[in-house]
Amino acid sequence: MPATDYQASFLGRISIRRNQVIAMDGNHEQELQDLELFSKHVSERFAELLSSPDDIPCHALLSISWLRKLLDFFLCCEAEFKGVLMMGNDPSQISKPPLDRLIPEFLDRSVKALDVCNAVTNGLESVRHYQKLAEIVVSALEQKPIGDGQSRRAKKALTSLMSAMNVDDKECSAAKATERSWSFSRRGVSSKDRVPEHFRSVSNQVAKNWSAAKQIQAMTNNLVPPRGAEGSGLASPVYTMSVIMVFVMWALVAAIPCQERNGLSAIHFPAPKQLNWAQSIIGLHEKIGEEWKKKEKKGTAGLLDEMQKMEKLGNILMDFTDSFQFHGDITDQKAEEAAARSVELAETCRRMEEGLLPLQIQIREVFHRIVKTRTELLNALDQVGKSSPPLL
Amino acid sequence: MDGCRSGVPTYEGDLHVVAAAHHIVKALGATKNLSDDLRKILIDLDSHLSMITSNIDSKGGRGLVDVEERLDLAERKIMRWETDPMMIWDSGPKEASDYLEAVDETGKLVDGLRGLSVHENRKQKEILHRAMNIFQTAMSRLEEELIHILVRHGQQFEPKNMYSRSIRKDIVYDESFVSVEDEPTKETSSQNCSNDESGECIVDLVHADVIPDIKSIAKVMFTSNYGPEFCEAFISVQKEALEQYFSFLGTENLSIEDVLKMEWTCLSSKMNKWTWSMKIIVRVYLASEKQLCDQVLGGLGSVSSYCFLEISKATILCLLNFGEAVAMGPHRPEKLLRLLDMYETLADLLRDIDTLFSEEAGSFIQLQFHELLERLGESAIAAFKAFRVAISSNGSLYPFAGGGVHPLNKYVMNYIRMFPEYWNTLNLLLKNQHPGVADQVTKPDYGPDTSLLTSCPMAYHLRSITSCLESNLHKKSQLYKDEALQHIFLMNNIHYLVQKVKGSELRLFFGDEWIRKHNAMFQQHAMNYERATWSSVVSFLKDNNPGSSSMSKSTFKERCKGFSIAFEEVYKTQTSWSIPDPQLREDLRISTSLKVVLAYRTFLGRNLAYTDDKCVKHTVEHVENSLLDLFGGSSRSLRNSRRW
């Protein structure tokens, strides 16, 4: 079936399929229904993610709770995908063309996704560090009356916070981490509150010279929509799941500080718009891609909604503490403004406190799930290989 | 309550009450065994009361002046260090305690002034801000001092000799300890490392002398609400120290993709290194880190376990990821023993992990460990199965020259010889794994007094493996066209099998019955060989007429010729065959000799009349000596080399 058939309406597609099905057995019909249901669910889920209201902070695009939803959907799609691929079907299908080529490619992508999961887990450690620094800012500004001491305390934590976000975002390389030392030169230090130089720890690296952007780029290798007759068979869920996997990993890397993200926006998704289920993914990709381009221009930190808020509030509060130190005192209006911002920051911290650990656990769950499916697919391939007559 | 409100306090009365209360608070504060929370409350109360006193005084005009004087004094003590290039704690204990005293005083003044600030006294507010400013400077300084102390007194310990015994002796450990020993030996506390048999070992990651200093900084920072700053500084220094130690052990971060692509020899050495590092990191380093956290932050609720988790998490995840990568790699048979090493290490460390990460926040790490253990177990079973599959599917197109011990047999037997070292683990993993329907034969029918070892899961599987091996060897033997050589091949190989079992701990798992059975088997093949080779040769020498004393000359001639040709043929063929085991070779020669030489001697003895005839090509002695040349592994010809 040519790919353009997907343009037809849902019912239309069913009838096209029905016509094809006539000559096939019931098993095959079941299979087609499963495929239909799978792509329908994919399309529904991603449409929900796309329509997530931006104005409600806890549902905003790329917020922690949005990412958790994304991962939830990934796990659901993954489970259905496995069902479609491995249950009720003739297992020998996976060793026949075109799956004999597509499955190994899919497995290769899975392994790459695992490394991305680890990189993101490491990134979340950094985000947690930001949260702790922001909490110090909040606790300093909470004190009444606000004085020079508090303001300096807040500023010190803010400086650490901003430079930490900056370092992580500047894709700090291993060289800096190894050079770093804790020596403080006491002589000639003018500032009263020295901020220790932030470093990116070695254990936050996946491996030397590893790059999240390159990894995701590599995941898109050979990722082309099935053509012709392949489009109606199992090649299509393999393709769909691959696109979902690449997208999810890409979105995670865009949101959370990761080792080497240069060139992330250049990654192109080979998902044709005429595929119904792909439309929302393409929409999300464009939306996040635009945000990323803005980020590249403005030089802000990761796209995680909470981090963007943190950065914005951080900048405002930094100005506040600066003016405090410069003038020695501030107007009541400014103090109120700062107090309001500080409450917002506290709210952001609270959301992080609630969401970061579950997100980390969920990413680990995704990791384990990918490993499990990979193992099952390999075992299935192995079984098929054994049952076929050995080549002598 | 009402009574309180009704009474209009007099100046004198106030002072008395406050003084009395102050007295009580001071007395209470001197009590030992106070909880930290309670102590803090008392300290707060103390500063508050002293402030009230000065406030009451201020009605007489003296209070704020007093406070200001006290603050001036504390400020001088604190600010003088801001221009001093020396670190305070490096300058001596007196300096440190003076500084802490000044900080404490400032803190008290801040707390007291803040308690009164409702009065909106401008002067008072000014002093408060000044005090808080000084206080911030002091806190910031304490953070720096903390980092300095941790870095300066941080100690590394030598991992040498540690756990070296646990590296199994018969496994080549390709990464020697040399690289580690090359590092300059620091004066570390490794001497206070109490390494007992179980390998428990705690070292001082930070010199014991400075622990009280760190504690005093922690105490003042936490009571002043600067706990988060303390934690951040403490965590970053200790985390980095752990990472440095991690790379000092020679462990590097590898992506899963890299691990999956790795060559076996490289992977094997990384797996060994992992096993070793894992033990040191968990049992020594993390145990010591936990102790340090508890020493410094004990009594502050969950702070200690929070810091410990933050310090160790990244490194732990890094180690776990390598394990995950290994477990998901291809299940090659040669991976089995390394996987078992990793599995055993992890299983062994589970209890430590569960203790180290016992708090709820650490349950994530605990869970990951348990998951990895399961995964490694599955992977080991898969490698075990792959081993069996590799044995049964090992195919040959050509017969193995000479009929000696097949390389597959050597590989398998030398490999499984190491299994008994892992028998507990293997038993656990193989408990629910059935060797397969085809291997019913391996069920022991040894009667009631079967020992425990021969009926354990590993024993079943071992026998199943050798039975796979045997059937493969049978298949290989079919490749020989010569039936006699088939028997030689099987005799050699089964003999080898039995020797390997008997000469190692394997015998305990195979049992005497198995050994007897297999002894009988190779002996049967020896007999079959003799029959296949020599029956036809000896048949020339048989007396068809046992009653008569001799045969006709022409018959004798014919028989002699027939024997010579057959014997020479056997000689030519079987000198190229091989029986690698000298004892087995010797035994077979003797028994052949007995059969052939005896028959030949009898034959010639009965026909003495014709023995001078040229038709007797070989003397008895010659036949006997020639037999010694058989199974030497190189073909010889009797006609050419020993023409007589």
B302 found inside a domain = yes
Residues B58 and B108 both lie in one domain = yes
In this structure, what token pair is assigned to residue B412?
A: 């398998």
What local confidence, expressed as pLDDT, does residue B173 receive? 32
Q: How many domains does chain A have?
A: 1
Return the amino acid letter for B615: C
A288 found inside a domain = yes
Closest residue in B to A134 (Cα) is: B228
Answer for the pair A240, A81: CB distance below 8 angstroms, yes or no: yes
**B256/A contact by beta carbon, under 8 A:** yes
In this structure, what token pair is assigned to residue B163?
A: 């756990």
In this structure, what token pair is assigned to residue B25?
A: 């608070």
Residues B468 and B353 both lie in one domain = no
Judge whether residue A133 has pLDDT over 60: yes
What local confidence, expressed as pLDDT, does residue A357 receive? 93
Residue B513: other Cβ atoms inside 10 A: 14
B243 found inside a domain = yes
Residues B107 and B124 both lie in one domain = yes
A178 found inside a domain = no
Point out the residue among A149, A180, A184 whose CB comes nearest to the CB of B135.
A149
What local confidence, expressed as pLDDT, does residue B215 receive? 96
B216 found inside a domain = no
Answer for the pair B464, B436: CB distance below 8 angstroms, yes or no: yes
3-state SS, residue B530: helix
B381 found inside a domain = yes
What local confidence, expressed as pLDDT, does residue B503 receive? 93
Residues B348 and B410 both lie in one domain = no
A50 found inside a domain = no
Give the residue numbers spanning the domain of B527: 406-437+447-532
Residues B244 and B384 both lie in one domain = yes
In this structure, what token pair is assigned to residue B92?
A: 């001596």
Q: What φ, ψ does residue B506 adopt, rounded to 5°? A: -55, -30
What local confidence, expressed as pLDDT, does residue B326 receive? 96
Yes or no, beta carbons of A193 and B137 under 8 Å apart: yes
Residues B513 and B625 both lie in one domain = no
Residues B355 and B423 both lie in one domain = no
Q: What φ, ψ does residue B155 adopt, rounded to 5°? A: -125, 140
Q: How many domains does chain B have?
A: 4
A39 found inside a domain = no
pTM of the model: 0.82
B495 found inside a domain = yes
Query: Which of A47-56, A126-135, A207-216 has the largest mean confidence?
Result: A126-135
Answer for the pair B285, B333: CB distance below 8 angstroms, yes or no: no
B375 found inside a domain = yes
What local confidence, expressed as pLDDT, does residue B183 receive? 30
A217 found inside a domain = yes
Among residues B150, B180, B204, the one where a domain terminates is: B150
Residues B513 and B545 both lie in one domain = no
Among residues B97, B121, B150, the one where a domain terminates is: B150
CA–CA dist B171, B478 (Å, integer):
35
B162 found inside a domain = no
B475 found inside a domain = yes
CB pairs under 8 A between A and B: 131
Answer for the pair B492, B404: CB distance below 8 angstroms, yes or no: yes
- Which residue, among A22, A4, A64, has the nearest Cα to A227 in the 3D structure? A4
Q: How many CA atoms lie within 13 A of A140 on its CB side?
A: 32
Interface of B with A in 129-158 (CB under 8 A): 129, 131-137, 139-140, 144, 147-148, 151
Instruction: Please tell me which residue, A336 or B234, carries the higher pLDDT value.
Output: B234
Judge whether residue A214 has pLDDT over 50: yes
Residue A129: other Cβ atoms inside 10 A: 22
Interface of A with B in 310-369 (CB under 8 A): 357, 360-361, 364, 367-368
Point out the residue among A135, A184, A187 whose CB comes nearest to the CB of B228.
A135
Residues B527 and B579 both lie in one domain = no
Q: Which residues pair with B578 in a beta bridge?
A: B632
Cis before A145 (ω within 30): yes
pLDDT in tens, A224-264: 888 877 777 888 899 999 999 999 999 999 999 888 888 88
Query: Per-residue confidence at A9, pLDDT binned at 50, 70, 90?
Result: very low
Which ranges in B80-199 belong to alpha helices (H)?
88-91, 93-116, 122-153, 178-181
What local confidence, expressed as pLDDT, does residue A387 receive? 64
Query: Per-residue confidence at A275, pLDDT binned at 50, 70, 90?
Result: confident
Residues B547 and B424 both lie in one domain = no
> What average pLDDT does the segment A123-150 reach?
90
Q: What percent of chain A has pLDDT over 70?
A: 77
> What average pLDDT does the structure give for chain A?
80
Answer for the pair B377, B345: CB distance below 8 angstroms, yes or no: no
A191 found inside a domain = no
Residue A168: other Cβ atoms inside 10 A: 25
The DSSP annotation for B570-582 comes to HHHHHTSSB---H
CA–CA dist A284, A61 (Å, integer):
9
pLDDT in tens, B295-327: 999 988 899 999 999 999 999 999 999 999 999
Point out the residue among A136, A147, A390 whose CB comes nearest to the CB of B132.
A147
What local confidence, expressed as pLDDT, does residue A117 receive? 96
**B395/A contact by beta carbon, under 8 A:** yes
Among residues B86, B121, B150, the one where a domain terminates is: B150
Contacts of B257 in chain A (CB under 8 A): 111-112, 115
In this structure, what token pair is assigned to residue A356?
A: 């970061």
Which of the residues in chain B have pLDDT under 50? 1-11, 59-61, 164-198, 437-449, 640-644
For the domain that residue B358 is a member of, what is the CATH number? 1.20.1280.170
3-state SS, residue B154: strand
ipTM above 0.95, yes or no: no
A201 found inside a domain = no
**B254/A contact by beta carbon, under 8 A:** yes
pLDDT in tens, B413-439: 999 999 999 989 999 999 877 765 444
Yes or no, beta carbons of B87 and A186 under 8 Å apart: yes
Residue A137: other Cβ atoms inside 10 A: 28
Residues 6+ apart with CB under 8 A from B395: A392, B475
Residues B334 and B240 both lie in one domain = yes
CA–CA dist B133, B116 (Å, integer):
18
In this structure, what token pair is assigned to residue A299?
A: 């030089």
Residues B512 and B576 both lie in one domain = no
Give the residue numbers spanning the domain of A275: 57-168+206-387
A123 found inside a domain = yes
* Shortest alpha-carbon distance between residue A232 and chain B (Å): 32
